Amino acid sequence: MILKAFKYIAAGFVFGIILTKSEAVSWYRIFEMFQFQSFHMYGIISVAIATGLIGIQLIKRKKVKDIKGNPIVVPDKEKGNARYWIGGTIFGLGWALAGACPGPIFILIGAGYWSLLFVLAGALIGTFLYGVIQRFLPH
Amino acid sequence: MHVLYQTWPWYISGFGIGMILLILIWFGKTFGMSSNLRSLCSIAGAGKFVPFFNFDWRAQRWNLAVVLGTMLGGFVAVHFMSDPTNVDINPKTIELLGQYGIDAPNGKLLPDALFSADALQSPKTVFILVIGGVLIGFGSRYAGGCTSGHAITGLSNLQLPSLKAVIGFFVGGLIMTHLILPLIFNK
């Protein structure tokens, strides 16, 4: 159990350090990005996507197996319009207001920035709210 | 050694994030942080009231382990790997923040004006943080993912839905930054 969890904790640990040291967890960096006053965040996102893109293509072409020897399938996202345009825009409003997306919320709380507990509480309320009104929303 | 304490360059950070995505794929999982919010709602018992939360969150325990790791990583990076040169943002951005009454970074990750214990004395600040969270939680679940699930994983896998979501992220972010934040911080 602990041993199985360890590789995920380790992956998260490295991710937490990278996001902190790249300052992608910083409210300032998000504000600066949306002001188009720095390339930093755009560089991070672009290189992350390029790395993932090349890696996923290699995995698909070489038919790489996962750690348990099963074929790797990267699931396709469901087709849709409203949920992506509207949901995405709502998310963006929150991202720029709180200056954190879900990963950084957890990272900052771990680092001891307790005020992020309010953002986490809000995020749980928002998630719950979506569950409640999901069937009334266009997807 | 001290180069590790400075702001990590975008090309190293971006490459690292891409590798984390690939490692999780190799572990047979999909990279996505916001789904943990749904798991936490289920653990808190939301499944009794709302069917959306009545799912097998135990199958998502691996992702909660990732979250635990990110928290430890954040702790180590902030407490043992920081130095005063951090968060060296554009002077023009600092000047603009000054007009809004928001303190300059000077090595800090977060502005005191929004995140310090003093700032939390004001109901307005608490409201901003909670509403920010609500928008993040609601929006990411509605869109089926956040920055990690759509912007990084989805775009890497050439998913059109993720492109729509990411355009939405930026539309929302630009509206907030350019139209709403000036109203909120207008003194």
Residues of B in contact with A29 (CB under 8 A): 87, 89
In a domain, B35, yes or no: yes
Contacts of A98 in chain B (CB under 8 A): 128-129, 132-133, 135-136
Count of Cβ atoms closer than 10 Å to residue A133 Cβ: 12
Indicate the SS3 state at residue A65.
Answer: strand
pTM of the model: 0.96
> In chain A, what residues touch B63 (CB-CB under 8 Å)?
8
The answer to whether position B46 is within a domain reads yes
pLDDT above 70: residue A1? no
DSSP code of residue B174: H
Count up the domains in chain B and report the number: 1
Closest CA–CA distance from residue B187 to any residue of chain A (Å): 17
Residue of B nearest to A17 (CA): B73
Chain B CA closest to residue A120: B133
Which residues are CB-contacts of B115 (< 8 A; sequence separation ≥ 6)?
A27, A113, A115, A116, B129
Q: Is there a contact between B109 and A19 if contact means CB atoms under 8 Å apart?
A: no
Q: pLDDT tens-digit profile of A78-104?
A: 999 999 999 999 999 999 999 999 999
Closest CA to B112 of B101, B123, B128: B101
Is residue B37 assigned to a domain? yes
- Is the Cβ pair B41, A49 closer than 8 Å? no
In this predicted structure, what is the pLDDT of residue A3? Answer: 75
pLDDT band at A76; cut points 50, 70, 90:
very high
Partners of residue B162 in chain A, C-beta under 8 Å: 77, 84
Q: What is the pLDDT of residue A84?
A: 97
Report whether B118 contacts A73 (CB < 8 A).
no
The minimum CA-CA distance between B116 and chain A, rounded to whole Å, is 7
Which positions in chain B touch A50 (Cβ < 8 Å)? 14, 18
Assess if residue B8 is contained within a domain: yes
Q: What is the pLDDT of residue B2?
A: 80
Residue A63: in which H helix or E strand, if any? none
> Per residue in B106-133, pLDDT tens?
999 999 999 999 999 999 999 999 999 9
The reply to whether residue B152 touches residue A52, judged by beta carbons under 8 angstroms, is yes
Task: Supply the Cα-derived Rg of chain B in whole angstroms.
Answer: 19
- Please name which of A134, A122, A131 lies closest in space to residue A97, comparing C-alpha atoms: A122
Q: Domain of residue B32: give its range.
A: 1-82
pLDDT at A2 over 80: no
pLDDT at B187 over 70: no
Asked, for residue B22, whether it belongs to a domain, the answer is yes
- Does B118 reside within a domain? no
Please name the member of B4, B18, B139 whose beta carbon is closest to the beta carbon of A52.
B18
Q: Please indicate whether, in this complex, the C-beta atoms of B69 and A91 are within 8 angstroms of each other.
A: no
- Whether B135 maps to a domain, the answer reads no
- Which residue of chain B comes nearest to A64, CA vs CA? B26
pLDDT, residue B128, reads 97
CB burial of residue B138 (10 Å; 0-12, 13-18, 19+): buried
Tell me, yes or no, whether B109 lies in a domain. Answer: no
**B115: buried, middle or exposed (CB in 10 Å: 19+, 13-18, 0-12)?**
buried
Give A70's contacts in chain B (Cβ within 8 Å): 28
ipTM surpassing 0.90, yes or no?
yes
Exposure pattern of A3-16 as b/e (b: 16+ CB <10 Å)? Answer: eebebbbbbbbbbb
**Amino acid A24: pLDDT:** 97
Tell me, what's the pLDDT at A49?
A: 97
Q: What is the pLDDT of residue B1?
A: 58
Shortest alpha-carbon distance between residue B62 and chain A (Å): 6
pLDDT at B171 over 90: yes
**Which amino acid type is present at position B31?**
F
Contact A10, B20 (CB under 8 A): no
